[in-house]
Amino acid sequence: MDFALDGLTVERMNDSAERAPLALRSIALLETIKGLLALAAAAGLLSLRHTDLHAATDAFLLRHGINPEVHYMRLFIEGVAKATNHHAGQIAAFGALYGLVRLVEGYGLWFGKHWAEWFAVISTAIYLPLEFHHLFRRPTWVSVAIIVFNLVLIVYLAKLLLQQRAERHRQRLQSLPPVAPRQDT
């Protein structure tokens, strides 16, 4: 739908054909949130580069009422204890890169970019082997839910990509000039 404003034509994005589907926008929002959280975590880790990470982790957990003796928290603390300041910088850089990738993916999905849909399928599928490995080592309902969610996401995006491919093929066939009937002599 267009409207004129002082001689300029402005296009509105009210037409559903011009907007990305709601599910795609929801995925874009989730990816953007993941990207922002990863960037925040990377920045936080960089700010702790020259501190005692083990002590800072214990203080953080206790300040937020989290029992550091719980199994997963103990694993987290042990992992932090192994990290050096050099490792913290590398982890922060990797986290920042991950965050930027998620933000680019979120942007592309929000605006319905075809490349972003492929990117989302691939980036989601890459983690499935790790998630299955984690599920088989320590089966939990959370692991099952994450795997099911990611599989649903992959199937949805793959279906959307196949529909777009079929539509492009249909448009290509319609744009071809008609073939004249063959006359035998």
pTM (predicted TM-score): 0.66
Among 10, 28, 174, which residue's Cα sits nearest to residue 108?
28
Token readout for 13 is: 């994005």
Q: Parse the chain into domains and list their residue ranges.
A: 20-112, 113-172
Q: Is the pLDDT of residue 76 over 70?
A: yes
Interval 157-167: pLDDT, tens: 889 888 888 88
Residue-wise pLDDT tens digits, 84-130 = 666 778 888 999 999 999 999 999 999 988 899 899 999 888 889 98
Q: Kindly give, in sequence order, each residue whose CB lies less than 8 Å from that of residue 7, ignoring residues fewer than 6 positions away.
A: none
- pLDDT for 11 beyond 50: no
Q: Where are the alpha helices (DSSP H) in 111-180?
A: 114-137, 141-175
Q: What are phi and psi of 4, to 5 degrees?
A: -95, 140
pLDDT in tens, 138-176: 889 998 999 999 999 899 888 988 888 888 888 888 887
